[in-house]
Amino acid sequence: MGVTIEDIYRLFEKSFDYLLILDDRGRIAHMSVALAKETTGDENGGVSGRIVDDVFNGASLDIIRDTTGKLATGDGPELIIWKTRPGRPSIPLRVVTETTASGRLFMFWGNRFATLENLTYKDEWKRIERAKELACIYAVAEWIEVSMSTEEFFTHLPRYLRDGMHYPEHVIVFSVYQEREYGKKPDAERFIKTDLVIEGHLRGSIYVAYDTNDLDFLPEEQRMMDEITRTLVLALERKELKGSIDKRQHELHRERAKLDTLNSYMDRINRGFEESKTRLETIFQAIPDTVAIIDCERNVIMTNTDKYVPGDKCYKTFFDSDRACLDCRLAKILKQKAPITLEIQHGDRFYEAHALPIFDKNHHVDGIIEFYRDISDKRNYEQQLQQADKLASLGQLVSGIGHEINNPNQFIRGNVKIIAQAMEDILPLTDAYYETHPGLKIARLNYDFFRKHIVTLIQDMANGSERIKGIVESLKRFARKDEGLLIDKVDLNVIIRESVRLAHNQIHKSADVELELAETLPEFKGNVQKMEQVIINLIINASQAIPEQRRGVIEVLTEFDDTDVVAQIRDNGSGMSEGTIKQVFDPFFTTKRARGGTGLGLSIVYRIVEEHGGTIAVSSTIGEGTTFTIKIPHTRKDSKVGTGAAESSSGEQQ
């Protein structure tokens, strides 16, 4: 164990009866038992670590404050008269100050039987020198503890040793430790030398000399250096022990390096195997499909992509499932011992899986190697082609059905007009007849009821026939082949009315349609059929967003803002989440796949609007509804465009 601060204090008390050491924060570092008894009456001396304000008062506290304040500025006294307890004599004490690594220290010291009268110059001189030596020992001991390395300690050692020497301004300090020199070796004939002997070996020396041969060393200075050296040797022995541990660790590292060398040699022996393995891994990583080697326990041994980490079960790694797949390829191969190929589905993704058995030397299945190819896009394209083929067939069918419906409808329209004209001639005659025959009935209806409703019935027949004609013409126009050119004059209000009429059968069961169309909406150049496709798609999507348990409302609004023709389709349905909004225009993204959705409708809408140089935006709130806003650019000389009254009729909502 090394020399501690408490050891230094005990050494001080052997030289002085009265001893008080303060730090620069007014805290008592040490107080001898004798001085504590004379001043505070405490016979145990338990005041170390306390603030002087908590221990002293009155004249004693004033003396301490005054003395330390003056010493800090270099004007302090060398001798003070210490006031003790009432009835006890005053004590003359010497005072010194010293700057250490942790701050300034103040030391008050004296002896029990010393008085002002019997303090001779020689005694005081010896005691002052002893105090300087002890302060120096204290400072060096503290510096040993706080220095971070032996290099730092020996580099700054001279400034601590000088303060303990009789002629500090002439002191030269030179140190050697482990063949490294610190400072300049003195040329003086006389010097103090102390050796650093650690574990029986001379590791270095400390030389202290004066820069002139006219000055002699005191015996006390040699004694001080011996005490400092003993303290330093103990500290260095502790560091040597740590160094021994570090050395052992270094040896362990060297042994590990030898093992690494041996492993390297073994690796070279197996170079052929490693080269083959590297080639196999390179080929393995280059395969574009996902490849996995799976053992008979369904553990993934190796994959060719960083996305999947080996070590877990195959169904957990690739499909995030807690149980084996129902169509497990491994189970089939263990039974059949032959390769298999099949198509599997995970979520909305489709994969083509090829699995081949891996045999051991006894021709037993030891695992499988499986290839996964994502064919989701291929399947979606096939569905798109099927849908396009259905639409083409539907277009031909619509043209034929329209022709077949139009023929009988022409008869109905012509006959309704004749009946209406005939009723204009017949009704005056039947009215006259009814006056003389009040019990008259026509079609088993009382005449007054018949007379009141017959004109309305005929007009409803005429309106229905005209509506059939309009629907058929809209279907034929919607289904006819489109060249895709943007050369039509597009009236968005007309397109919205026809689109509502065409989609009426799909939307009237779940929602009412309310139209608010600007009266003076300008035309723009575009493609009528494509814009019809946009509006129909958005209206049908809005109706499908209405929950089944309630009836909804779909609002369609148009306006012109001097730059763009604007249309809004707004519903009060279920709304969409933020994640859905971000993907709603992506091809093949759909939330209605279970109901036959392909995920192409809104992506086509987005493309058509872009073709017209416009933009489409969506805003939605869960539980409140969704709004799609379309803006088609239009340049118009007359910018004085008004927005008319809302156009809403029961006929448009049916």
Is 546:511 a contact under the CB 8 Å cutoff?
A: yes
What is the radius of gyration, based on Cα positions, of the chain?
54
Distance CA 386, CA 398 (A): 18
Q: What SS3 state is found at 450?
A: helix
Which positions of the chain have pLDDT values less than 50? Answer: 1, 115-123, 241, 243-245, 594, 596, 636-654
Q: What SS3 state is found at 29?
A: strand
Long-range contacts formed by 176-184: CB under 8 A, 24+ apart? 176/204, 176/205, 177/150, 177/203, 177/204, 178/150, 178/203, 178/204, 180/151, 182/154, 182/155, 182/157, 183/158
Q: What is the pLDDT of residues 393-406, one digit of tens each?
A: 565 566 667 667 77
* Beta partners for residue 313, in sequence order: 299
Is 349:320 a contact under the CB 8 Å cutoff?
A: no
pLDDT of residue 568: 92
pLDDT of residue 559: 92
Distance CA 393, CA 385 (A): 12
Distance CA 56, CA 66 (A): 14
CA angle 135, 215, 155 (to 5 degrees): 50
pLDDT of residue 645: 35
Place of tokens 């150049």: 525
Which amino acid, 121? Y
pLDDT of residue 565: 92
pLDDT of residue 642: 37
pLDDT of residue 632: 92
| 654 Cα distance to chain centroid | 52
Structure tokens at 428: 């005056």
Q: Which of 322, 298, 325 is nearest to 310 (CA)?
A: 298
Is 581:591 a contact under the CB 8 Å cutoff?
A: no
Q: What is the pLDDT of residues 463-503, one digit of tens each?
A: 778 777 767 766 666 555 555 677 888 899 998 988 888 78
pLDDT of residue 627: 93
Distance CA 424, CA 421 (A): 5
Which amino acid, 516? E
- DSSP string for residues in 589-628: --S-GGGT--S-HHHHHHHHHHHTT-EEEEEEETTTEEEE
Distance CA 65, CA 82 (A): 12
Distance CA 481, CA 464 (A): 28
Is 319:281 a contact under the CB 8 Å cutoff?
A: no
Handedness of CA 125, 126, 129, 134 (dihedral sign): negative
Q: How far is CA 398 from CA 15, 404, 409, 604, in A?
A: 123, 10, 16, 22
Distance CA 28, CA 22 (A): 5
Is 146:101 a contact under the CB 8 Å cutoff?
A: yes
H/E stretch holding 253 reads: helix 219-269
Distance CA 160, CA 136 (A): 6
Neighbours of 388 (CB within 10 A): 11
Going by the DSSP 8-state scheme, the letter that residue 313 receives in this structure is B
Place of tokens 């500090």: 168
